[in-house]
Amino acid sequence: MMSKFLFGSLCALALSTSAYAQENGDVMVSNAIGFLDIPYVAHTLDLDDDKEELTINCDEVDCTTLVEYVLAMSISPTEDGQVAEGDFADNLQKIRYRDGKVDGYTSRLHYITDWANNGIRNGFLEDITEKNSPYVKKVSVNYMSTHPEQYRQLAHSAENVAKMKEIEKNLSQGEIHYIPMENLPYNGLPWIKNGDIIAFVTNIPGLDVAHMGIAFYVEGKLSLIHASSSSKKVVVSRVALTQMMKSNDKWIGIRVLRMKK
């Protein structure tokens, strides 16, 4: 497995602390808390535009890489309080790449619909929303192929753009269950648990999800541990999730995914 280990100090530390929590959700929350105050840095996976490799950089995260590192730590087996580096990397590769295979830029799961489908197909995620919400939304994604200038590996590669178009076409056949913002009570819903993965469904044309984080109840209200581009670091949201959503007109609802071990 070709991989670039930027195995920051934090990965190592977090790998040694995740064992003490019991429930899956607790493991997710305890690993996420280990990232608090870590700087928000976008595009940490796009440093090298001609070689796609597994990159591990727990010292600079965006909303998606934070969730990926926390999930990879949480589904990895532990032995007397330690998660083995190799297991972490193997699981991260399964989470980030289609069926765990690194095969160029487009094998990375860029759209969260693709990322979620992959996790469900490979048995480490379940879609909790599907079981609890009747609201569905058609998937319609073309953001990356229509904004290639925003992606280094697309801006200069007609081949990659063509591959992304194919992926977008396949993803746009489906629909997803979600909870519209107006149906999400202030304190959350009883079936959303600590440690669940929250994906913010968006009305941005051609995009499915615009942000991600980890559910965390603070004094009984559903909040979020997330890599915040406005706070420029990983934080626990100061306000409830519903309040966060009211302040962003690009977010129209949420999907809830749960890790399965």
Nearer to ligand 2YP, 185 or 205 (CB): 205
Q: How far is the CB of 150 from ligand 2YP (least distance, A)?
A: 7
Nearer to ligand 2YP, 170 or 229 (CB): 229
User: Is residue 255 part of the contact set for ligand 2YP (CB under 6 A)?
Assistant: no
User: Is residue 227 part of the contact set for ligand 2YP (CB under 6 A)?
Assistant: yes
CB 102 within 8 A of CB 90: no
User: Is residue 63 part of the contact set for ligand 2YP (CB under 6 A)?
Assistant: yes
Q: Which stretch binds ligand 2YP (CB under 6 A): 57-65, 73-81, 161-169, 237-245?
A: 57-65
User: Is residue 117 part of the contact set for ligand 2YP (CB under 6 A)?
Assistant: no
The Cα 113–Cα 172 span in angstroms is 10
Query: Measured between alpha carbons, how far apart are the two ends of the chain, in Å?
Result: 23
Nearer to ligand 2YP, 125 or 207 (CB): 207
| Residue number, nearest CB to ligand 2YP | 63
- Residues 70-109 within binding reach of ligand 2YP (CB under 6 A): 108
Q: Which of 73, 139, 201, 212 binds ligand 2YP (CB under 6 A)?
A: 212
Nearer to ligand 2YP, 209 or 215 (CB): 209
Nearer to ligand 2YP, 110 or 193 (CB): 110
Of the candidates 3, 19, 108, 111, the residue with the CA atom closest to the CA atom of residue 57: 3
119-148 mask for ligand 2YP (x: CB under 6 A)? Answer: ------------------------xx----
The Cα 57–Cα 228 span in angstroms is 17
User: Is residue 241 part of the contact set for ligand 2YP (CB under 6 A)?
Assistant: no
Quick one: tokens of 259?
A: 């890790």
CA distances from 52 to 3, 27, 63, 72, 157 (A): 9, 30, 20, 19, 14
Contact residues: ligand 2YP, CB under 6 A: 42, 45, 62-65, 108, 110-112, 143-144, 207, 209-212, 227, 229
